[in-house]
């Protein structure tokens, strides 16, 4: 994994993201798509490295580079601002989302209309979960901060 740290340092030092023009971004996206098809599934957290370590490294690096560039492109847009607001509460959403996610999975599995794509169902479930969890996470975070403040004040006395 130190390869990724070295490449990340190189990207930061050379300001590669700032210099990545749109044609290079598109070409990188095409190459990433081909590499993803060749490499297969990757999940480093559970030691799934795809079909080859030699494909994993450029695939992962290009994927990260594209994601970082895409994030910088949408940073000041409406979508970017919404994602930032959700991101502020991401730990609370992550900590509390399992029951809501299960509810949506159960509900959508019993709906009579048929969706053939598991990707569409997945995006729908995640979207509905975030819509429900965001206000819960905001309230949770406010209560947590108030509790910590009250504890801090009571410890001073």
From first to last of its 157 residues, what are the pLDDT tens digits of the chain? 788 899 989 999 999 888 889 899 999 999 999 999 999 888 888 888 888 889 999 999 999 999 999 999 999 999 999 999 999 999 999 988 888 888 888 887 777 665 666 777 788 888 888 999 999 999 999 999 998 888 777 777 6
- Residue extents of the structural domains in the chain: 2-74, 80-156
The tokens of 54 are what?
């030699």
Supply the DSSP string of 67-135, one letter for each residue.
Answer: HHHHHHHHTTSHHHHHHHHHHHTHHHHHHH-HHHHHHHHHHHHT-SS----HHHHHHHHHHHHHHHHHH
């Amino acid at each position: 994994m130190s390869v990724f740290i070295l490449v990340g340092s190189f990207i930061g030092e050379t300001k590669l993201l700032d210099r990545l023009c749109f044609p290079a971004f598109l070409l990188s996206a095409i190459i990433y798509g081909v590499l993803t098809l060749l490499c297969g599934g990757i999940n480093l957290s559970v030691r799934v490295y795809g079909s080859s370590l030699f494909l994993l490294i450029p695939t992962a690096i290009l994927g990260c580079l594209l994601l970082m560039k895409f994030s910088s492109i949408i940073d000041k847009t409406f979508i970017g601002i919404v994602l930032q607001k959700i991101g502020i509460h991401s730990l609370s959403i992550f900590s509390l989302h399992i029951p809501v996610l299960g509810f949506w999975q159960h509900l959508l599995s019993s709906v009579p209309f048929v969706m053939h794509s598991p990707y569409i169902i997945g995006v729908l479930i995640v979207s509905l979960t975030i819509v429900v969890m965001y206000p819960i996470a905001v309230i949770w975070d406010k209560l947590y901060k108030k509790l910590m403040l009250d504890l801090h004040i009571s410890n001073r006395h």
